[in-house]
């Protein structure tokens, strides 16, 4: 069990309100009248979630985007957000961060409502947290609703951000669609809103396709088979499409595409890529080119 899993086990003793969903999802769902508030929070730490050489405007954008992606996975409309910010001691850096954050908030109509600031000791790693609030008036799919017989889909390819991170690590001045995927992910809010009434389960792929599909299967009490790992043309031009490349793409994370299940025979209402199916049982199976592939030791990103 990872350190993150052990800590969550302790927190579940406190998170006993139904809105917390047992801390098995990325959001809390709080009923308010006829609607439900969708609450989510993400933290980004320098050297853990982004490179020290990443442009501050891109870091601000990404902090908003990863929270918006959690709202997208519930079909929620953004209502507002709260920012907790560790001052960097560099006014120009802080201003650029705020500009990038503001660009993302304006693009997705999510106003900043408040938050907190703290001044860190010189040389400390920068860290920031954003809590996003959304509203859902219709069905809210969780990660625990997948049913035997369902088909598994992705809203787009995986692996671009992982390669983008490698390129940016090697050259901070690198540009192009792969670096863009890493630095400025696009939350699938429109797709999530259209999918929510139909999806039996839905979550975003933030930690890697393999580990997130495994989590969906565990939460739903079903077995999941992944039989296709979609790669973008940009990734294939740089890395090819070997089995090793496909497995790396499925483990990389930071994709923020929507992973969802639909009843067999139901056509997705958005552009989507079929990547597998759901069956009775438990566990995750990976197939590439029709052959069962042993799962890697690490399925994706975990803290500790």
* 61 annotated to a ligand binding site: no
Q: Is 49 annotated as a binding residue?
A: yes
Known binder of ligand: residue 150?
Answer: no
The annotation status of 36 as a binding-site residue, yes or no, is no
The verdict on whether residue 254 carries a ligand-binding annotation is: yes
106 is in an annotated binding site: no
Phi, psi of 118, deg, nearest 5: -145, 145
69 among the known binding-site residues? Answer: no
Tell whether 207 is in a known binding site. Answer: yes
Query: Binding residue per annotation — 206?
Result: yes
Please enumerate, as own/partner, the contacts of 54-58 that have beta carbons within 8 Å and a separation of 24 or more.
Answer: 54/168, 54/172, 54/183, 55/96, 55/100, 55/183, 56/93, 56/94, 56/96, 56/97, 56/100, 57/96, 57/97, 57/99, 57/100, 57/103, 58/100, 58/183, 58/184
CB 265 within 8 A of CB 219: no
Cα(68)–Cα(42) distance, integer angstroms: 10
Residue 34 is labelled as binding a ligand: no
Residues counted in the chain: 304
Binding-site residue positions for Mg(2+)? 26, 40-42, 70, 116, 204, 207
Residue ranges of the annotated binding site for ATP are 115-116, 143, 206
Binding site per annotation, positions: 26, 40-42, 49, 70, 115-116, 143, 204, 206-207, 254, 301
């Amino acid at each position: 069990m990872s350190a993150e899993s052990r800590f969550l086990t302790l927190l579940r003793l406190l998170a006993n309100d139904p809105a917390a969903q047992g801390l098995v999802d990325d959001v809390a769902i709080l009923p308010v009248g006829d609607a439900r508030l969708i609450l989510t929070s993400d933290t980004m730490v320098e050297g853990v979630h982004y490179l020290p050489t990443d442009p501050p405007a891109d870091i601000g954008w990404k902090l908003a985007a990863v929270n918006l992606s959690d709202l997208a996975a519930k079909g929620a409309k953004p209502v507002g957000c709260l920012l907790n910010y560790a001052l960097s001691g560099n006014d120009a850096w802080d201003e650029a961060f705020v500009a990038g954050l503001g660009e993302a908030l304006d693009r997705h109509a999510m106003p900043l409502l408040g938050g907190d600031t703290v001044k860190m000791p010189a040389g400390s790693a920068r860290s920031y947290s954003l809590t996003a609030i959304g509203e859902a008036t219709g069905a809210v799919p969780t990660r625990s609703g997948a049913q035997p017989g369902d088909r598994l889909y992705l809203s787009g390819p995986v692996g671009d951000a992982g390669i983008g991170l490698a390129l940016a690590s090697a050259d901070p001045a690198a540009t192009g669609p792969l670096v863009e995927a890493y630095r400025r992910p696009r939350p699938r809010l429109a797709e999530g809103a259209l999918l929510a009434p139909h999806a039996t389960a839905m979550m975003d792929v933030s930690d890697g396709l393999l580990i997130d599909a495994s989590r969906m299967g565990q939460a739903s009490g079903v077995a999941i088979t992944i039989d296709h790992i979609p790669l973008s043309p940009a990734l294939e031009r740089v890395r090819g499409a070997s089995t090793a490349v496909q497995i790396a793409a499925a483990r990389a994370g930071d994709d923020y595409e929507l992973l969802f299940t639909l009843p067999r025979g139901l056509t997705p209402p958005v552009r989507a890529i079929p990547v597998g199916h759901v069956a009775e049982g438990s566990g995750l199976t990976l197939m590439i080119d029709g052959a069962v592939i042993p799962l890697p030791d690490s399925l994706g990103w975990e803290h500790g």
